[in-house]
Amino acid sequence: MKGDIRHAYVHVPFCRHRCGYCDFTLVAGRDDLFEDYYTALGIELKRLAQPIELDTLYLGGGTPSHLGPEGIRHLFDVLHDVLRPKSAAEVTIEANPLDVSEATVEAFHRCGINRVSLGVQSLNALTLSTLDRDHREGDVRQVMHLLLDSGFTVSVDLIIAAPEQTLDAVGRDLEAITSLGAQHISVYCLTWEQGTAFWGKRARGTLTPVAEDVEHKMFELAIDRLSSSGYQQYEVSNFAQPEMACRHNEAYWDCRPWEAFGPGAARFDGQNRTTNIRSTSAWMKNLIAGKGVTGDIDAMTTEGAARERLVLGLRRRRGVGRMSFFQQSGFQVDDLAKKPIQEWVAAGFAEDDGEHVRLTRSGMLLSDSLWSAVL
């Protein structure tokens, strides 16, 4: 299977601070751990018997750009012997707007990075403050111009349904980001994760979630504004200009195998998903001590893998073709989900022409509530 792997994810767990809504695997304010991280990562990479040639490489976090220009170059020095992007590969790094400078851009170019996923979340001062973000609209505008003028593909993350966020504020965010020229935009509804600061504030009544009907209106507004601005909704949360879809994410949704390294990183061999331990300190200590870092192993049955493939396919705008699904999974769509699909069609959540099944606009809005009938 290793010879078939053409995609890799590297988790960089460092951040300036932890935002109140975030439950990702990260450590904040521990820049003193950089060197141990590079050492541990180099050790973990040695589990591969030989280098792999990559179609996509994705650096996520945390905030990889927090390493700074020298740190990013050091990271790629560690990766180079094992993870080797092809000449036409998509190489993405997640970045905080405040981390990006001309020196950072120079480091990106030197390392072969050609796509930057910018954690904007909003341009509204109130929303940014609520979300514990430390940048402002002017920072985003400056960085967007710098990145686009430097030839990078820029993807922007936006959060909607934040506490106290209004429909008008969402509209202004969408207008601003599209006018700045981002080629790819991901729109995520705020999720309230147990263990986060937001979860505790909601329990104490100091933060209140946006009403569900308002959240739906916000997402519908995003679909309308982005579609009218030339972006295609190619997956529930993802919108792209023509030919600008994220190739790395498409590999996930196609259920292609991928490698992954770093604390909390999950790799996939085509059927089984293996996740590293989440604790950054334990991950580093174990590797440096010669111990393993495997946390969870999700050993799916062939049917379980097929059901996951079906859900991932239905999250995409093009939907699922019955013939291609059978060829890829060995299962018929109707054997897995005939009744739910019939119910979705009757409710206006899906379309089924006998060859392809795809969600409608209404189905996209409610998609997270549909999957339990399939998985």
Residue 275's pLDDT band (cuts 50, 70, 90): very high
DSSP 127-187: HHHHTT----HHHHHHHHHHHHHTT-EEEEEEEES-TT--HHHHHHHHHHHHHHT-SEEEE
Q: Is the pLDDT of residue 52 over 80?
A: yes
Amino acid at 97: P
Share of the chain above pLDDT 90, in %: 97
Model confidence at 2, pLDDT cuts 50, 70, 90, reads: very low
Check: CB of residue 225 under 8 Å from CB of residue 175: yes
Q: What is the mean pLDDT of the chain?
A: 96
Distances (CA, A) of 305 to 63, 211, 268, 298, 328: 31, 35, 11, 10, 11
| pLDDT above 60 (res 109) | yes
- Residue 40: per-residue pLDDT: 98
Q: How confident is the model at residue 4 (pLDDT cuts 50, 70, 90)?
A: confident
β pairing state of 350-352 and 356-359: antiparallel
Burial class (CB in 10 A: 0-12, 13-18, 19+), 323: exposed
Q: What pLDDT sits at residue 92?
A: 99
Instruction: Write the pLDDT tens digit of every residue in 238-260.
Output: 999 999 999 999 999 999 999 99
Token digits for 190?
């705020």
Once rounded to an integer, what is the mean pLDDT over residues 184-204?
95
Quote the pLDDT of residue 1.
Answer: 41
Q: Write out pLDDT tens, residues 17-51.
A: 899 999 898 899 999 999 999 999 999 999 999 99
Instruction: Answer left, alpha or beta for residue 72, where phi above 0 means left and psi between -120 and 50 means alpha.
Output: alpha
* Predicted local confidence at residue 133, as pLDDT: 95
Residue 63 predicted with pLDDT over 70: yes
- Every domain range in the chain assigned CATH 1.10.10.920: 305-373
The SS3 call for residue 363 is: helix
Record: fold of 2-253: TIM Barrel (3.20.20)
Compute the distance between CA of residue 164 and CA of residue 155 in angstroms, rounded to an integer.
25
Question: How many alpha carbons lie under 13 Å from residue 148 in its C-beta half-sphere?
Answer: 17
- List, by residue range, all CATH 3.20.20.70 domains of the chain: 2-253
Q: pLDDT tens digits for 150-188? A: 999 999 999 999 999 999 999 999 999 999 999 999 999
Nearest alpha carbon to residue 65 among 6, 5, 108: 108
Q: State how far the Cα of 95 lies from the Cα of 120, in Å rounded to an integer.
A: 9
pLDDT at 3 over 90: no
Class of domain 305-373: mainly alpha
Residue 162 pairs with which residues in a beta bridge?
none
Residue 16 has pLDDT above 50, yes or no: yes
From residue 113, alpha-carbon distances to 48, 213, 235 in Å are 23, 40, 24
Look at residue 119 and tell me whether its pLDDT is greater than 80: yes
